Amino acid sequence: MASDDVKLIGAWASPYVMRPRIALNLKGVEYEFLEEKFGSKSELLLKSNPVYKKIPVLLHGGKPICESLIIVQYIDEAWSGHSILPSDPYHRAVARFWGHYIDDKWFPALTGISRAPTDEAKKEAIEQVFAGLKFLEEVLEKSGAGKPFFGGDTIGYIDIALGCNLGWLRATEKLSGLTYLDESKTPLLVCWAEKFSAHEAVKCVMPETDKLVEFAQMLKAKFSAPPSK
């Protein structure tokens, strides 16, 4: 039936693509994964997301839904079963706020570290990453209330919004030599990261850190001038 037809346009390395994949897995929804080739955009992608021409795009019965956190909310509303967003409006607002913060400030700071043009800009980006993790540690403490995930006993919206970035966080740690998820600073997050990554809805879609490191090095080599001798 066309309305049951679920496709996801994405790419293995994208943390944003991981989000709807985790959500679909949590709901037990089968879908076809359409991997985009790196360096080019398919006709389907351009047609489905003419505004941004970016992945992920969920196609449900042929209808496109774009923007990863909007897709996650759609998945939560379109399929019953595991609840991703909390039922209480205030907690939903808190979850949406942190999803916004992660995309607006935290992840750009993380990716900004390697792209920082000056040492000062790099230092500022690193500080922003640590500050964000400190905030999120507090959120986990408050909302998790001793439970393993932001969503409590099960994975929820904030878990998905933040957890999809763990691959790149670990890759950045390897590339920079700095530890961001530090047990002495954010012990709850360290524990959470392990549990999240091991969750059956997550582990099959979490990219390997070494592969991401390789990918990052390939990107850097491709986009920067060769070093002079």
Partner 1 sequence: MAANDHAEVVLLDLWASPFGQRVRIALEEKGVEYEYMEQDMINKSTLLIESNPVYKKIPVLIHHGKPVCESLVIVQYIDEVWSHKAPLLPGEPFARAQARFWADFIDKKIYECTTRLWKCKGEALEEAKKDFMEIVKTLEVELGDKTFFNGDTFGFVDVALVPFFGRFNAYEKIANFNIEKECPKIVAWGRRCMHRDSVSKILPDDQKIYEFLLMLRKYLGVE
- For residue 104, the minimal CB distance to partner 1 (Å) is 9
- For residue 84, the minimal CB distance to partner 1 (Å) is 13
> Using CB under 8 A as the criterion, which residues of the chain lie in contact with partner 1 when the complex forms?
51, 60, 63, 65-67, 70-71, 73-74, 77-78, 89-90, 92-94, 96-97, 100-101, 105, 135
Closer Cβ to partner 1, 64 or 152, answer by number:
64
Closer Cβ to partner 1, 90 or 223, answer by number:
90
As a dihedral over the C-alpha atoms of residue 203, residue 206, residue 72, residue 57, rounded to 10 degrees, the angle is -130
Q: From CA 95, how far away is CA 81, in angstroms rounded? A: 19
- For residue 63, the minimal CB distance to partner 1 (Å) is 6
Closer Cβ to partner 1, 113 or 139, answer by number:
139
Residue 9: which of 52, 48, 50, 51 has the closest Cα? 48
Find tokens 């790149």 and name the residue: 168
Q: From CA 14, how far away is CA 67, in angstroms rounded? A: 13
Closer Cβ to partner 1, 13 or 65, answer by number:
65
Cβ within 8 Å of residue 27, ≥6 positions away: 75, 76, 79, 80, 81, 82
- For residue 100, the minimal CB distance to partner 1 (Å) is 5
